[in-house]
């Protein structure tokens, strides 16, 4: 967490909790895998435990480990102490994917280290590269039983292992024109075009048009694109089901994610935009709401979904609840980085990750950092 006064607000919250509780009450904290963890946090809490999956589907398991350790600490069975190692590297979101090597191998090493005597927990933390704060970047947290030196040695060992594979973690990907061409010539359908620059879960606008414009330019057939466009939804509602609309989408918060695009089509259906997800998905959300939603049939079997609330593509219900079978699409644009995979990988043919522009662009060299530690791989 970052606030205007506290670039490391989690450490400040912990400092106040510690001041209120005194030195002897154990404190356990669970953390998102993207946490930019600071040494101050490790000094103040006894137990720091991060999710170890991306997409994040292990919140329950990691929470349980934290609670069990806390209970054992309260009973006096263990004396947990924490250390965080900070290798001078940032990880792009693709390299953070825990199903992809070398991250998958690093995770296996972390799980093996947790079996060592005296080690209570190991968390390899990817960090969040879009936060311009001193503690931005990867971390390794080790909780040891009473021995800080042991915690530090283990954390440093895994941090060194990360550092040694930094070049493989720095995953490259194609630009929009080449990526769309790949999707249109793919035989593994549906081809998923991953709009990394407009990753809604990462905080972007959700109305990026770069891939939509490129798909139209290359005369794509059978695509499904979801765009956040509340004004266009109102137009579709006025036209009614079966009516024709001429709408402009994109560019509502600036042109970082592409210029506005004008499209003409027929309103196929209108929806309230709510659905329930029953499977484990990134974030664990059950009740979903993308606001009033319109499905627009464009030419060539292409479909544009316009919604009123920004919704990361973490659940297939975003499409199935409005009558779209994603398995029947030829190309689907997903505005995400990795978290969409829990929902979309099982139905996806080919996955094409695209270096699109935007707030969540994959290439950190596009951003001007002012507060991070330097030097920082791969920037320096």
| Sites of contact with Zn ion (CB under 5 A) | 32, 34
Rounded to a whole number of angstroms, the minimum distance from the CB of residue 220 to Zn ion is 31
With beta carbons less than 8 A apart as the criterion, state whether 315 and 157 touch.
no
- How far apart are CB 316 and Zn ion at their closest, in Å? 20
**Residue 7 corresponds to which tokens in the numbers above?**
């670039």
Least Å from the CB of residue 60 to Zn ion: 15
Secondary structure of 273-318 in the HEC alphabet? CEEECCCCCHHHCCEEECCCEEEEECHHHCEEEEECCCCCCCCCHH
Nearer to Zn ion, 32 or 297 (CB): 32
The nearest distance, CB 127 to Zn ion, in angstroms, is: 10
Give, for 169, the enclosing helix (H) or strand (E): helix 166-169
* Integer Cα distance of 322 and 319 in angstroms: 5
> In terms of CB distance, is 32 or 114 closer to Zn ion?
32
Beta strands in the chain (DSSP E): 28-31, 47-50, 80-85, 119-125, 139-145, 191-195, 223-228, 244-249, 261-271, 274-276, 287-289, 293-297, 303-307, 331-334, 351-354
**Burial zone of 13 (CB within 10 Å; 0-12 exposed, 13-18 middle, 19+ buried):** middle
Q: Which residue in the shown chain puts its C-beta closest to Zn ion? A: 34
In the complex, least distance from residue 70 CB atom to Zn ion, rounded to whole angstroms: 22
What strand order describes the sheet that includes 331-334? 244-249, 261-271, 293-297, 303-307, 223-228, 331-334, 191-195, 351-354
* Closest CB to Zn ion among residues 99, 238: 99
Report the residue number, 292 or 341, with the smaller CB distance to Zn ion. Answer: 341
Q: Which is nearer to Zn ion, 34 or 341 (CB)?
A: 34
Task: Give whichever of 271 and 335 is closer to Zn ion, judged by the CB atom.
Answer: 335
Nearest-approach distance from CB 54 to Zn ion, in angstroms: 7
Cβ at position 48, least distance to Zn ion in Å: 15
């Amino acid at each position: 967490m970052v606030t205007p006064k506290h670039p490391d607000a989690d450490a400040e919250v912990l400092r106040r909790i510690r001041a209120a509780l005194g030195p002897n009450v154990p404190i356990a904290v669970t953390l998102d895998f993207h946490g930019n963890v600071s040494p101050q946090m490790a000094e103040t809490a006894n137990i720091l435990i991060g999710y170890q999956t991306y997409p994040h589907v292990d919140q329950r398991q990691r929470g349980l480990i934290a609670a069990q350790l806390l209970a054992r600490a309260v009973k006096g069975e263990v004396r947990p102490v924490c250390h965080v190692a900070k290798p001078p590297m940032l990880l792009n979101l693709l390299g953070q994917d825990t199903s992809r090597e070398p991250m998958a191998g690093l995770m296996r090493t972390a799980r093996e280290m947790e079996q060592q005597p005296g080690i209570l927990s190991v968390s390899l933390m990817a960090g969040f590269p879009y936060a311009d704060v001193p503690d931005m970047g990867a971390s390794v947290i080790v909780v040891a039983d009473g021995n800080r030196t042991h915690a530090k040695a283990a954390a440093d060992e895994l941090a060194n292992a990360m550092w040694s594979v930094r070049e493989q973690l720095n995953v490259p990907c194609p630009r929009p024109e080449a990526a769309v061409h790949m999707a249109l010539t793919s035989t593994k359908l549906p081809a998923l075009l991953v709009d990394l620059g407009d990753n809604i879960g990462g905080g972007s606008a959700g109305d990026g048009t770069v891939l939509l414009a490129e798909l139209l330019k290359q005369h794509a057939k059978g695509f499904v694109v979801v765009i956040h466009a509340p004004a266009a939804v109102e137009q579709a509602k006025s036209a009614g089901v079966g009516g024709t609309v001429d709408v402009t989408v994109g560019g509502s918060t600036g042109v970082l994610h592409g210029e506005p695009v004008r499209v003409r089509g027929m309103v196929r259906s209108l929806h309230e935009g709510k659905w329930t997800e029953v499977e484990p998905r990134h974030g664990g959300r059950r009740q979903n709401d993308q606001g009033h939603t319109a499905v627009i049939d464009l030419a060539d079997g292409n479909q544009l979904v316009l919604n009123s609330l920004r919704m990361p593509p973490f659940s297939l219900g975003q499409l199935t609840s409005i009558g779209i079978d994603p398995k029947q699409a030829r190309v689907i644009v997903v505005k995400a980085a990795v978290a969409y995979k829990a929902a979309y990988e099982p139905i996806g043919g080919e996955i094409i990750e695209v270096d699109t522009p935007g707030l969540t662009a994959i290439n950190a060299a596009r951003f001007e950092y002012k507060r991070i530690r330097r030097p920082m791989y791969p920037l320096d």
